[in-house]
Chain A
């Protein structure tokens, strides 16, 4: 393994940061698609030079871009995301039925084994898949139609399917999360789905333990233990050890358990990272101090990581898809802020340094180990 490529999606374009294995000098390429929102871009685990990007604006809608050469050149592929059959309705903010309307692609998750197969999580929440490298997209309608779809309600950011995790030991099993519906699992590659929200408690909804209606912000797993899931919910950091069948809270001594991203160390399945945010109405770090919190015990016990991060007057946010890890021997951890900084650590989070600054607001960060 010779280096790392960090793919950064921002409000005004994509940037590609590359470094050798030492990760002390970074080359910044971009902006690609300058002026467009890049919600997410990600490389195929089966072909590191095959990248996919979700490009869009409110003016011109959704574009999907594909690169076959690690992001040097791109070609637009199919951007037609049409719901399967009659679209039906979900709940609107006022509780009335509202027709499903495609708005954008939040997350692209390439297959673990086939560079031409990619899953797309979209708003209004649904799952699409291409098996021809993006030339065509088809909905996996079993998710919206499994029975609770009509009860789903958008969060403040919209009714978005933002997290897709493929079980590395059983690719037919996929976990997804939707704001503000909750987490769902398929065991047959997307044909059928079930909600997996037992144990979540959300005081903001009429029934705090409802089957659906929870604002899950992000889920993460370690490839060696795919039955163990870690979740950053709107409030609460949660853990499941049975593939999502049940959850328990592991917020422990966090200064606040509100936040967006959560991720797992590449080589230590019980070492997890979150970025506590003050509250759902104040989307910035408590006390103006940007602190990553690390638990080496899979939750409950957390320590602040501050070296190299601003510890005064810092009021940025870190969005749900804006944290990632590489898999070099000394695991690299990366996250981007709405202030346009991308920070990296090569010592498990003990110290950080900016690897890019002054970018547009960062929406997503994905690390590729080359």
Chain B
């Protein structure tokens, strides 16, 4: 199972705890993880990726295994530790604003 940590506002919106677990079929990439996340929690559609372009929203970042993966291709394989469920995939709200 893939583990995903969400920022506080999205946890409230999706009515979930800090971490959710997802069953991702096939290769584990940003796209397949987020597709699975949105399929399980449709209320999150449009909040992490733009509805139309499917691009990451500008003030969000994707971290895993102490690396910033935000600028990686959405179709690049995520680290094996994420794919195995040993490490979570982190969706982070940028530390800016009021």
A and B: bona fide binding partners: yes
Segment at the B interface, from A59-67, A140-148, A256-264, A297-305:
A59-67
Tell yes or no: B57 within 8 A of A by CB. yes
Tell yes or no: B76 within 8 A of A by CB. no
| Contact of A62 with B46 in the complex, beta carbons under 8 Å | yes
Tell yes or no: B45 within 8 A of A by CB. yes
Number of interface residues of B (CB under 8 A): 19
Chain A 64-90 near chain B by CB (<8 Å), digits 1 or 0: 000000000000100111100000000
| Contact of B57 with A60 in the complex, beta carbons under 8 Å | yes
| Contact of A60 with B51 in the complex, beta carbons under 8 Å | no
| Neighbour of A61 across the interface among B7, B47, B94, CB < 8 A | B47
What residue in chain B is nearest A11 (Cβ atoms)?
B98
Can you list 16 contacts pairing A with B, beta carbon distance less than 8 Å? A35-B9, A36-B9, A57-B9, A60-B48, A60-B60, A61-B50, A61-B57, A62-B46, A76-B13, A76-B43, A79-B46, A79-B51, A80-B46, A81-B51, A82-B51, A82-B52
| Contact of B9 with A60 in the complex, beta carbons under 8 Å | yes
Tell yes or no: A58 within 8 A of B by CB. yes
Residues of chain A lying within 8 A (CB to CB) of residue B13: 60, 63, 76
Residues of chain B lying within 8 A (CB to CB) of residue A76: 13, 43
A137 to B: closest C-beta gap in Å: 11
CA distance A41 to B15 in the complex (A): 22
Query: Which residues 30-52 of B sit at the A interface, judged by CB distance below 8 A?
Result: 43, 45-48, 50-52
B66 to A: closest C-beta gap in Å: 22
Interface SS of B by simple majority: loop
Chain A 36-59 near chain B by CB (<8 Å), digits 1 or 0: 100000000000000000000111
Known: A35-B9, A36-B9, A80-B45. A59 touches B57 (CB 8 A): yes
B78 to A: closest C-beta gap in Å: 22
Tell yes or no: B97 within 8 A of A by CB. yes
Further 8 A-B residue pairs, CB within 8 A, beyond A58-B59, A58-B97, A59-B93:
A59-B59, A60-B9, A60-B10, A60-B13, A60-B60, A63-B47, A79-B46, A80-B51
CA distance A81 to B47 in the complex (A): 13
CA distance A58 to B9 in the complex (A): 12
CA distance A22 to B14 in the complex (A): 39
Residues of chain B lying within 8 A (CB to CB) of residue A62: 46
| Contact of A79 with B9 in the complex, beta carbons under 8 Å | no
Residues of chain A lying within 8 A (CB to CB) of residue B50: 61
Residues of chain A lying within 8 A (CB to CB) of residue B47: 60-61, 63, 79
Residues of chain A lying within 8 A (CB to CB) of residue B48: 60
CA distance A60 to B10 in the complex (A): 8
CA distance A61 to B10 in the complex (A): 11
| Contact of B46 with A59 in the complex, beta carbons under 8 Å | no
CA distance A79 to B60 in the complex (A): 18
CA distance A79 to B13 in the complex (A): 13
B11 to A: closest C-beta gap in Å: 11
| Contact of A59 with B60 in the complex, beta carbons under 8 Å | yes
